Structure 1
Amino acid sequence: MNFGFNELGVLFNFDMIGTIAIGLISLIVGKKMKEKLTFLDRFGIPAAVLGGILFATIHLIIRVIGVGSISYDTTFQTPFMVVFFTTIGLGSSIEGLKKGGKLLIIFWLLSGVMTFMQTVIGVSLAKVTGINPLLGVMAGSVSMSGGHGSAGAFGQTIEELGVTGGLTVALSAATFGLIAGGLLGSPLAIHLIRKFNLKPKDVVNKDQVEKKSSTERREITFNSMMSHVTMLSIVMTLGIALSTFLKSQLGIALPSYVGAMFCAIIFNNLNIKFKWLDLDRNLLNIIGETSLNIFLSMALISLKLWELAALAVPLLIILMAQVLFMWVYTRFIVFKAMGGDYDAAVMISGMCGSGLGATTNAMINMEEVSSKYGYTVNPYLIVPLTGAFLIDIFQMPVIITAINMFK
């Protein structure tokens, strides 16, 4: 860290290590905020988001009052992002598809339509309001069903294409979506349950629908850590090479994590069959969650909130349209397509949560409904599986196509 001066006053310049340190401090502050402001848990807002936005706001204030500005070196942001998405790929398997049956396929296809329409709405309204269509892509499925992880990754990609404010718009939209998804999901489901007097069938205890680890928790040792880090490094290297090759040969904008995630999916399914490595899912979850929090913290503290000034009205129009679409789509199409019964009502609360925010939001919404009327198995099998992995099969081609159409 060093100090200097520029036209805004004092320049606080943080190097790579300093940026990680500030990011981690913001994460700790965010955790403290969640502890003190318990209502924030209702919306499932990550601590990294709370702390990061607070620090970004402080940066905005010191610029506005003329104290100075802050410069961050986010070189490590991309590697942590790639690690996180690689662990997501390693958590996917073909075996999971077989458990959901016909309902899973229907919900998955409906989720695919949702991601497509979110992108169409974002791009269309961006053109109507006179802003760059790529910013509309960022306020579409990138940040809505993609959440903060996808927003941070693709926001960085379009900034590299020269679109000012891409990352700020994407992460701001993702935060809006988290709150909107929490406000919309469970009230809509409860309204339908009461309106149609829906009753749950085959009610189970709460612990029968909670996600359990398929393997016992093991002691984390030097050898286990090194074997998993080595495996991750190899998969990431192959994945990044694949992304680089596709970008150079096809001339398309493609985040490096897409190739890494794809290679991780292939490796995991082959590993299940051939048993090359005994994966510790708990360790992978720890590595993935740690990487996500560091990645998000770095992305959020470096947000340039002042870039939102000229985009505030167009962005708000797009985001309100996304919420309206989600209400109409889940209420009149998804609910009926999923059977119009109690399980369907619980699942649309989950779709509102994951479709506007994150899978965590979906689980919070479904818990809110189920705790009042009863727990059933299907929603807790279908919604998390779709939101955590399957939706990417539709979402990634849609987003990548849209970016390359309007770059």
Structure 2
Amino acid sequence: MEVTLNGYYTLILATLVLLLGRFLIKNVKFLENFNIPEPVAGGLVAAIVVYALNFFWGYSFDFHQGLQTACMLMFFASIGLSADFSRLKAGGSPLLIFTVVVSVFIILQDTVGVVMAKAIGLDPLLGLVTGSIALTGGHGTAGAWGITLEEQYGVAGATTLGIAVATYGLVAGGIIGGPVARKLINGMGIKPSEDNPNPSEVEKLASEQSLYSTKHNEDEAHESRDMFSKPDNIRLITASSTIESLALFAGALAFAELMTMVAEGTWFEMPTFVWALAGGVILRNTLTMVFNFEMFDRAIDVIGNASLSLFLAMALLSLQLWQLTDLALPVLGILLVQTLVMVIYVYLVTFRIMGKDYDAAVLAAGHCGFGMGATPTAIANMQAVTDRYLPSRKAFLIVPMVGAFFVDIVNATVLQIFTQLPFM
């Protein structure tokens, strides 16, 4: 028996999923340690309940797709509206270099996923799901591209698989980041601060700066638009700033709808959510650079975070877990290879190109975090390293900016190119 829920009931269930996720995160240490998002924790439990209702009693649920799509587009528009290219000056050449390093890895990640998928007889588009769609992209990108692959390309189970892969990536990224950085740092002869009873003047200075570094870490992450690393932080907004921000969101979504219609059937046809991101980028940088408009970033943060949480909750409610049965073992093999590729890449490329110094080692830990999981995982990895060794202002300046929005822009571009290749 199919149960259809309108927008009101879909929203009620989505908020209940988020409240359940918050409860689980606070009470299950594993989930907290590996930075599992609240929508994922609660949503997976809800998906299991929905599966049980279907398996034992034959119930299926049809949730309101329009509300889910709107939240997805709002989330990607928020990324675009926060992509202030003038902040490139703050990061300097290391920011540009790190962005290139990350971009090359995204291409490598998708290549590995597609090649392995074809080798074991899977649809190569599923290779993209086990590549940068879910790993570098995280849950939001996995849900958005999953819907696109299912509706436009007929890839069954893409959303379910994407959410599962993104969850694996969060855990894997949190596991490998610290050990990788520790091995690199030990190779430079730097010891943990607690192993130095008579620290040198440099280490004394680093110790004195630790409190500043912690605050600098938080301030820099916020200033660099690390929107999704601390979604529960209090942000002071007003009704007028919210209204103005909603107008910007509306403009980005209108641009996305228009470009989706204009580009249909052409060489530059892209999913609507990519146009929403692009619309946000264009609006942001045109208004700030040409008209000196002051953006209300705090309001954009709040709206973007709320949209992401609701979208993920609704996406997870709609999961069909039975679609993963035949894919479990092959996909696990691909993911283990992707994890190995991530480790090798940060050793041989990220660490070396970024300077082969302590900052480069911390950047390598951060790259493991959002290369396999998400920006919050990257921040957690780097905090674990700097808490044990020395501060790294450079890493905490660069990683939030690249991980929060530059990587999404690059990832969307790379994925669009891959989907148009003839062998896909």
TM-score by length of 2: 0.88
Deviations 1:33-59 (A, max 9, x none): 001013322211100011111111122
- Tell me, in whole angstroms, the C-alpha distance in 2 between the residues paired with 1:334 and 1:294: 34
Superposition pairs of residues 222-261 of structure 1, within 5 angstroms: 223-250=240-267, 252=269, 254-261=270-277
Equivalent residue number for residue 42 of structure 2: 51
Q: Secondary structure at the match of 1:310?
A: coil
In the alignment, structure 1 residue 220 sits paired with structure 2 residue 238: yes
- Tell me, in whole angstroms, the C-alpha distance in 2 between the residues paired with 1:389 and 1:328: 25
Superposition pairs of residues 234-383 of structure 1, within 5 angstroms: 234-250=251-267, 252=269, 254-275=270-291, 277-383=293-399
What is the letter of the counterpart of residue 248 of structure 1?
Answer: G
Q: Which residue of 183, 203, 206 corresponds with 1:191?
A: 183
Contact kept in structure 1, 2:95 and 2:398, CA below 8 Å: yes
In the alignment, structure 1 residue 211 sits paired with structure 2 residue 250: no
What is the letter of the counterpart of residue 163 of structure 2?
Answer: L
Equivalent residue number for residue 8 of structure 1: none
- Tell me, in whole angstroms, the C-alpha distance in 2 between the residues paired with 1:385 and 1:228: 21
Contact kept in structure 1, 2:103 and 2:407, CA below 8 Å: yes
- Tell me, in whole angstroms, the C-alpha distance in 1 between the residues paired with 2:93 and 2:55: 55
- The Cα shift of 1:239 comes to 2.5
- The Cα shift of 1:276 comes to 6.2
Q: Secondary structure at the match of 1:350?
A: helix
- Tell me, in whole angstroms, the C-alpha distance in 1 between the residues paired with 2:366 and 2:317: 29
- Tell me, in whole angstroms, the C-alpha distance in 1 between the residues paired with 2:420 and 2:64: 27
- Tell me, in whole angstroms, the C-alpha distance in 2 between the residues paired with 1:294 and 1:64: 26
Equivalent residue number for residue 34 of structure 1: 25
- The Cα shift of 1:209 comes to 2.6
- Tell me, in whole angstroms, the C-alpha distance in 2 between the residues paired with 1:283 and 1:392: 20
- The Cα shift of 1:17 comes to 2.1
Q: Which residue of 99, 104, 107 corresponds with 1:113?
A: 104
Contact kept in structure 1, 2:288 and 2:295, CA below 8 Å: no
- The Cα shift of 1:262 comes to 1.1
Contact kept in structure 1, 2:72 and 2:308, CA below 8 Å: yes
Q: Secondary structure at the match of 1:75?
A: helix
Query: Structure 2: where are the runs of 5+ without partners?
Result: 192-201, 226-233
Moved more, 193-202 or 65-74: 193-202
Task: From the superposition, tell whether residues 393 and 224 of structure 1 become closer, same or farther in structure 2 (CA, over 3 Å).
Answer: closer
- Tell me, in whole angstroms, the C-alpha distance in 2 between the residues paired with 1:248 and 1:187: 47
In the alignment, structure 1 residue 163 sits paired with structure 2 residue 155: yes
TM-score by length of 1: 0.92
- The Cα shift of 1:400 comes to 0.9
- Tell me, in whole angstroms, the C-alpha distance in 1 between the residues paired with 2:106 and 2:67: 29
Number of residue pairs the alignment of both structures matches: 396
Q: Secondary structure at the match of 2:238?
A: coil
- Tell me, in whole angstroms, the C-alpha distance in 2 between the residues paired with 1:95 and 1:244: 31
- Tell me, in whole angstroms, the C-alpha distance in 1 between the residues paired with 2:237 and 2:49: 41
Query: Structure 1: where are the runs of 5+ without partners?
Result: 6-10
- The Cα shift of 1:61 comes to 2.4
- Tell me, in whole angstroms, the C-alpha distance in 1 between the residues paired with 2:378 and 2:126: 25
- The Cα shift of 1:66 comes to 4.2
